[in-house]
Structure 1
Amino acid sequence: MEVTRLTATDAARAARVLGEVRASTLDGRPSKPAPRPAIRESWGRMLQSGIDPDHDFRADLLGRDEVERRRQTSRLRHVLPVLREGLLSLADTAQHIMMVADADARVLWREGSTAVLRKADGHGLGIGADWREETVGTNGVGTPLVSRRAVQVFSAEHFVRALHPWTCTGAPITDPRDGRLLGAVDISGPLETLHPSTLALVDSVAKLAQARLRDLHLTSLEQLRAVAAPVLARLGGRAVAVDRDGWTAAVTGMPYTSRVALPKSLSPGRCWLPALGLCTVEPLPAGWLIRPTAEPAPAPTATHITLDVSHPRRWTVTVAGCAGSWTHELTPRHAELLYLLALHRAGRSASALADDMFGDPARTVTVRAEMSRVRRYLGAFLDHRPYRFTERADVEVLLPETPLDLLPHSVAPGVIRTRGSTPSAPTWAERPPGHERERSNP
């Protein structure tokens, strides 16, 4: 059903129709019209997780100090001017509010119509509010963070009844450097204020924010390169200058790589890095000078690799061995690839992985390019022909409690098959009181 077309002429009728669709879905009956795909997927996650559709549950707001700490450490603070310029005029004109939330769906900034802000306070839309799907159901902040695409949620498309007077339109904002989820921007207001163009506008402004972050990143690397270039010119041997996140600004005496995987806490001195071996690390303004040593790497031993895909929005790989441990945050594509390799320990050919990822075994060029990027930080623990984890790697996979929460953004056939390997979720009416979820094991 084209919700925006119906609401453009009769918002009240659209709300009634969607209410009937929701009621049928909760009762386990097919509905006509059917929910839109993004809403259907979200409702499926809600039914699986046990969210009560008629209970307005809210978590406590974050304290002022914690909100300020998150604001100061979020890269979203750099793009607030872009978001304000693109969306606040709409918010004021259409009686909406703009909310910016971090990757945990915590509202960090909120601006817009004074009257709507007061109304929002009564629905828990305050600064520091928790708007994860698993907390308040389908909504314009939490759902885009899970699906990783712009979503409009109108009236009864909200899973929890208390939000039916609202229309919410949100889009995720990702880090253009590595695809990591930074948060979401949302425009919300009374249901009668929905406009068909709002979804496209919010999505476009989110992309403008990502472009601004890309420009800031390139500028910072240029500044670091200007500082590091004279230092590298005086050095003999191999060296690389990186920013605090490991992105390469300049290199000498060794092949260029766009990023060096760094441990979460790095300090001057000697340390072992997965891509370079034993290194000497020295501080630079806003970065590090890294010089690989000539000493041999530690002898190969059994290495424990933990692939954590238990969260709907963040995924990591942690390597622990004799040389210490380090953790790398994964992009959505790399999380899919490593999960599939962990699932098939005997290995997968490039064509098999292409079939798992895209449903097209001919897309081997894309698979090889992505695996080449994965090998930059995990190459010591991966073999190829076929692609697989090495035999000396002990691989542990941390899965979500609910199968539907496994990489929920993914449309890779190999991931979808895994999600569907367990019985489908019961409807709300079939779910027993006090339903408890069991932790999945690989």
Structure 2
Amino acid sequence: MREEIERQRRREAVLAGRAASVRPVVAASWRRMRSRGLDPGGGPRVAPLTGAELERRRAESPLAPLLPHLRRALAPAVEQSGLLAVVSDAEGRVLWRTGEMPVRRLADRLGFVGGSAWTEGNVGTNAIGTALVLDAPVMVQGGEHFVDSHTFWGCAATPVHDPWTGRTLGVLDVSGPAPAMHPHALAMVQLAAQVAELQVREQHRAGLDRLRAYAAPLVHGLPGPALVVDPHGHVAAAVGTSPPARVPLPDDLAVGTTWLPTLGPATAEAVPGGWLLRLDGGATPGASQLVLDLAGDVPTVTVSGPSGTWTHRLSPRHTELLLALVRHPEGRSARELALDLFADDTRVVTVRAELSRLRRSLGPVLEHQPYRLSSSVEARIELPTDAARLLPGSSAPVVTALRQEAAG
């Protein structure tokens, strides 16, 4: 009893910021939770999805075809250790759970049920939510959870990506009572996710090979520069131009004229399995306006220039990065952006990698040394009327600060 009281005192001291005896990844997450005003003694803030909405998300999940593989890969952990295998979507919503009745009952007590939102902002530090924030594998054990009622629980999770597009497809998690969590649980979920990602890559690669076979005779002899791309912008064939391996495409690409930030004006024609893009020539026009739209369910960026407008859906990480840059037109260093996103100035490598990916989409709109928007771009943010709806799944300090300003 005395040891338990002492452990609780140490935990309270760390939560209050008077001590630093937890791992850096956990300490950074707790700083994000404190900045959000999350109560360690509270419960979930977001209600689970309705049955109909949960079924819709399951049917539309890109992980649904991979379920047989994921269940086979995690069966040893579930069957031998009495743990729970969980698959969530990219928003941290629990889609599927597999495990014996006793552990499912324990999960029910936590609200860890189908359709629940297992994000940091909803339930505090946990493997699924923190893995989504960091876009990296995470294990959280016992008292490392931010919320008091979760301190008997353990969890190990890793994001599952589409390696073809870079999009996060969801999260794979193993959870259960902390004493039952094996140290190798995290390695197990990582291996299962890696095999699943290889399957996704091979499906895309086969589609691109079919498109190449069709595109080669199609572009031969065209009078001007052109290229054929798959629906994700990967180049299958090109003539009269040397494009990158992948071209960012607008989300609303349709037959007719369009504008590509990295290539300029183009005319799009639909072909089986992709698009034929005839390049209209001339220098790529400079952008004059950027709108970061956070008012809808899916954040988007719209870039306008002399030759047209281009709209692109943003990942959660790119939304947070772009928000930080719009709010700081003077520019930010990688260290400052790491604090803006993670409350952790050691994550500069992650920031630089994500900015490199974002720049491939936005082209000359982004500059560096320091990282900033081009001085020729007029930028603005569109916010929801209710501050609580502003990126509800994000725990980034830059988002928390904007929520407080919008609410106040």
Q: What TM-score, normalized by structure 1, do the two folds share?
A: 0.73
Structure 2: how far apart are the matches of 1:140 and 1:119?
A: 17
Is the contact between residue 401 and residue 437 of structure 1 (CA under 8 Å) also seen in structure 2?
A: no
Q: Decide whether aligned partners of structure 1 residues 381 and 223 sit closer, same or farther in structure 2, where only a CA change above 3 A counts.
A: same
Partner in structure 1 of residue 363 of structure 2: 379
Structure 1: how far apart are the matches of 2:354 and 2:108?
A: 45
Whether 1:166 and 2:153 are equivalent positions in the alignment is: yes
Deviations 1:174-225 (CA, angstroms, capped at 9, x unpaired) = 3323533332111011222121211222233223333332222222211222
Partner in structure 1 of residue 74 of structure 2: 87
Is the partner of 1:141 in helix, strand or coil?
Answer: helix
After superposition, residues 243-262 of structure 1 pair within 5 angstroms as 243-262=230-249
Structure 1: how far apart are the matches of 2:284 and 2:106?
A: 61
Is the contact between residue 315 and residue 335 of structure 1 (CA under 8 Å) also seen in structure 2?
A: no
Structure 1: how far apart are the matches of 2:257 and 2:139?
A: 50
Is the contact between residue 43 and residue 138 of structure 1 (CA under 8 Å) also seen in structure 2?
A: yes
Partner in structure 2 of residue 284 of structure 1: 271
Q: 1:103 aligns with which of 86, 90, 96?
A: 90
* Cα shift at 1:371: 8.0
More deviation, 380-389/197-206: 380-389
* Cα shift at 1:303: 1.7
Please, what is the CA RMSD of the aligned residues?
4.2
More deviation, 181-190/203-212: 203-212
Q: 1:303 aligns with which of 288, 291, 303?
A: 288
Q: 2:377 aligns with which of 393, 397, 406?
A: 393
* Identical-residue share of aligned pairs (%): 37
Is the partner of 1:182 in helix, strand or coil?
Answer: strand
Q: What TM-score, normalized by structure 2, do the two folds share?
A: 0.78
Is the contact between residue 240 and residue 290 of structure 1 (CA under 8 Å) also seen in structure 2?
A: yes
Instruction: Provide structure 1 residue ranges, at least 5 long, that are not aligned to the other structure.
Output: 1-11, 409-418, 423-435
Whether 1:329 and 2:296 are equivalent positions in the alignment is: no
Is the contact between residue 324 and residue 337 of structure 2 (CA under 8 Å) also seen in structure 1?
A: no
Q: 1:200 aligns with which of 180, 183, 187?
A: 187
More deviation, 163-172/326-335: 326-335
Structure 1: how far apart are the matches of 2:222 and 2:407?
A: 52
Structure 2: how far apart are the matches of 1:49 and 1:244?
A: 38
Structure 2: how far apart are the matches of 1:119 and 1:387?
A: 46
After superposition, residues 206-355 of structure 1 pair within 5 angstroms as 206-233=193-220, 235-293=222-280, 303-306=288-291, 317-321=301-305, 323-327=308-312, 329=314, 343=328, 345=330
* Cα shift at 1:133: 0.9
Instruction: Provide structure 2 residue ranges, at least 5 long, that are not aligned to the other structure.
Output: 339-344, 384-389
Partner in structure 1 of residue 396 of structure 2: 405
Q: Decide whether aligned partners of structure 1 residues 398 and 258 sit closer, same or farther in structure 2, where only a CA change above 3 A counts.
A: farther
Task: For 1:71, give the aligned amino acid.
Answer: R
* Cα shift at 1:68: 3.3
* Cα shift at 1:26: 3.2
Q: How many pairs are equivalent?
A: 389
Structure 2: how far apart are the matches of 1:50 and 1:309?
A: 22
Deviations 1:41-81 (CA, angstroms, capped at 9, x unpaired) = 11111111111211223522212332233334433234333
Is the partner of 1:326 in helix, strand or coil?
Answer: strand
Is the contact between residue 35 and residue 397 of structure 2 (CA under 8 Å) also seen in structure 1?
A: no
